[in-house]
């Protein structure tokens, strides 16, 4: 596990990973936008895209995150991501209680450089 970041949310299916990380290598007074990053990984192409966070909604059962590129709705076991521009919908498994694999960890380390 890196000392540069902590994984807050981790969702994946066979083609996609959506993850939120908190940077730990920044000053305490850093902007939230610099500290928290939602990232979309296309496993097929290997491309890693920052999701531009806009707002959230939270209840006991369902969490929702709104991004410039789409919308994520999740609970303790699963998630659905809907892309804004082509309205494709992806079902993902909530893996937040598991460790990310080395390949994803390497991509995150490179992203933070």
Question: Per-residue DSSP letters for 9-70?
Answer: EEEE-SSEEEEEEEESSS-TTS-HHHHEEEEEEETTTTEEEEE-EEEEEE-SS-EEEEESSE
pLDDT digits (tens, 9 = 90+) for 1-28: 578 999 999 999 999 999 999 999 999 9
Compute the distance between CA of residue 42 and CA of residue 22 in angstroms, rounded to an integer: 20
Write down the pTM of the prediction. 0.92
Compute the distance between CA of residue 79 and CA of residue 75 in angstroms, rounded to an integer: 6
pLDDT digits (tens, 9 = 90+) for 70-107: 999 999 999 999 999 887 899 999 999 899 999 999 99
pLDDT band at 31 (very low <50, low <70, confident <90, very high): very high
């Amino acid at each position: 596990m890196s000392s540069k970041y902590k994984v807050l949310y981790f969702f994946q299916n066979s083609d996609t990973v959506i993850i939120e990380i908190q940077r730990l290598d920044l000053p305490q007074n850093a902007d939230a936008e610099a500290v928290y990053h939602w990232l979309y990984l296309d496993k097929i192409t290997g491309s890693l895209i920052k999701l531009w966070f806009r707002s959230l909604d939270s209840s006991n059962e369902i969490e929702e995150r709104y991004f410039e590129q789409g919308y994520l709705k999740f609970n303790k076991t699963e998630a659905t991501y809907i892309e804004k521009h082509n309205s494709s919908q992806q079902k993902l498994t909530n893996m937040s209680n598991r460790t990310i694999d080395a390949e994803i960890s390497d991509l995150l380390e490179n992203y933070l450089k």
